[in-house]
Amino acid sequence: MNLPAYLAPFRPRILSALRGYTRERFSKDLGAGMTVGIVALPLAMAFAIASGLSPQAGIWTAIIAGGLIALLGGSAVQIGGPAGAFIVIVYGIVEQYGLPNLLISTACAGVLLFLLGFLKMGTLVRYVPVSIVVGFTNGIAVLIALSQLKDLLGLQIAKMPADFFSQIKALAT
């Protein structure tokens, strides 16, 4: 089947990577995978806790997502792991809508990302100004740091709100 030129053919990298796969490459991949796992699993646990979930949720997420990235990814030299920017988003969804709706929104986001990749919409990221990316990243960092202040200061706040001004109010109270 010939796709129109504006659509990206979907061919996971694993299909071509396994051709000619040797024991030597396996040993190198095993070492790299263990290194990534040693970093990613505790990080995933920390991100889950900061997102208001259990550490087990972080471990399962890292394992499943890491496997899917390895199987469906498009590069032989990239790794996939937990992203700190999602802490604020996940925490907000869990706080307001609960864990079942987080799972639904995650599935919807996955379908959306797949469609955007299929339609080659990832190239639009070139048009996002660097200042927007820097501002977004700094905003996320401030929200993450603010959400962890209660633990740093030893404050007894039963449930930290997700949004900035509510967090400031809760910390001040």
**3-state SS record for the chain:** CCCCCCCCCCCCHHHHHCCCCCHHHHHHHHHHHHHHHHHHHHHHHHHHHHCCCCHHHHHHHHHHHHHHHHHHCCCCCCCCCCCCCHHHHHHHHHHHHCHHHHHHHHHHHHHHHHHHHHCCHHHHHHHCCHHHHHHHHHHHHHHHHHHHHHHHHCCCCCCCCCCHHHHHHHHHC
Which range marks the domain in which residue 142 is found? 128-173
Specify the pTM: 0.65
Q: How far apart are the first and last CA of the chain?
A: 63
- Whether 146 is in a domain gets the answer yes
pLDDT, one tens digit per residue, over 14-44 is 888 788 889 998 998 899 888 888 888 888 8
Mean pLDDT of 43-58: 88
Domain count for the chain: 1
Contacts of 78 (CB under 8 A, 6+ apart): none
What would you report as the CA-atom Rg of the chain, rounded to the nearest whole angstrom?
A: 19
pLDDT, one tens digit per residue, over 123-165 is 888 899 999 989 988 988 888 888 888 888 888 887 777 778 8
- Whether 147 is in a domain gets the answer yes
- Whether 139 is in a domain gets the answer yes
- Whether 44 is in a domain gets the answer no
- Whether 145 is in a domain gets the answer yes
pLDDT, one tens digit per residue, over 81-128 is 677 777 888 888 888 898 899 889 989 998 998 888 888 888 888 899
Query: CA geometry: angle at 118 spanning 113 and 122, to 5°?
Result: 60
